[in-house]
Homo-oligomer: A and B are copies of this chain.
Amino acid sequence: MISRKDEPFSRSIQNYLKVIYSHTRENRPVSTLGLAEALDVKPASVTNMLQKLDEFEPRLVNYQKHHGVSLTEDGEKEALRVIRRHRLIEQFLYEVLGYSWDRVHSEAEELEHVISPYFEDRLAEFLGEPAFDPHGEPIPNRDLEVTQDESIIPLSLLPVGKKAVVRRVTAGPQELLAYLGEIGLHPGKGVEVVERNPLDGTSRVLVDGMEKFFGVGVTGAVFVSVAE
């Protein structure tokens, strides 16, 4: 039983919680190996940290030896706090300081651990309480509620010929993001699949008046909503 002492969680702990959160959005309990990769840390270090996290008071994760971890209510709250800061900062860097959207992530990854609650509030206010970050990811509000639009689908599933609007571009490798930005594939832009290879899913896509070719690696990471 480790007491909380009212100190903020360490930067390491915050990173762990955030990664556990995003990974459990998809496949339930996360594996040690998965965390190790995402955090760029060796598996033994992950086990170590999970054991600590598991005996925090109040408990932040549910950890079962050899069966992965998931977040408790409290762990999820904290993860969402970090994510809110991260995305607010990204939005600030993009809108105010003129960063390109492929540069915002690494900077936010550091700042998210350092700004005070007061800074967070002032920044959110200054930005006009934004609901989305530059990649189209939802920013949890002050009460940590996340608005998740149900009606969005990956571009890989958009039927040929249907017009759609880009809603979210999930951060892949920095260079990919840079490229997609250059060709104008941003949230809000219209897109249409003009042809799709039935074998490997490769698509010809009309974006910003130009035709481009994407594999499923790309079309699976771009989310769109079909124009009504």
Q: Which of B103, B110, B122, B126 contacts A118 (CB 8 A)?
A: B103
Is A115 an interface residue, CB under 8 A from the partner?
yes
Does A27 sit within 8 A of B, measured CB to CB?
no
Residues of B within 8 A of A115 (CB): 107, 110-111
A120-131 Cβ-contact flags toward B at 8 Å (1 or 0): 001100100000
Q: Let me know if A119 is at the binding interface, CB within 8 A.
A: yes
Q: Is A116 an interface residue (CB 8 A)?
A: yes
Query: What interface size band does chain A fall in?
Result: 10 to 19
Report the separation of the CA atoms of residues A98 and B93 in the bound assembly, to the nearest whole angstrom: 18
Does A97 interact with chain B (Cβ within 8 Å)?
yes
Contact B116 A114 (CB under 8 A): no
**Shortest Cβ distance from A73 into chain B, in angstroms?**
28
Tell yes or no: A99 within 8 A of B by CB: yes
A1 interfacial contact with B, CB 8 Å: no
A96 within 8 A of B: yes
Tell me the complex Cα distance, A123–B92, Å.
11
Cβ A107 vs Cβ B116 within 8 A: yes
Whether B103 lies near A110 (C-beta < 8 A) is no
A98 x B114 contact (CB < 8 A): no
In the bound complex, what is the Cα–Cα distance between A97 and B126 (angstroms)?
7
Output the nearest chain B residue to A111 by Cβ-Cβ distance: B114
> B111–A97 contact, CB under 8 A?
no
Contact with B along A74-100 (1 / 0, CB 8 A): 000000000000000000010011110
The residue of chain B having its C-beta at the shortest distance from the C-beta of A99 within the complex is B122
Which residues from chain B contact A97 at a C-beta distance below 8 Å? 119, 122-123, 126
Q: Complex: how many Å from CA A122 to CA B99?
A: 8
Nearest Cβ distance between residue A42 and chain B, in whole angstroms? 20
Contacts A/B (CB < 8 Å), 17 sampled = A93-B119, A93-B122, A96-B126, A97-B119, A97-B123, A97-B126, A98-B126, A99-B118, A99-B122, A107-B115, A107-B118, A110-B114, A110-B115, A110-B116, A111-B111, A111-B115, A114-B114
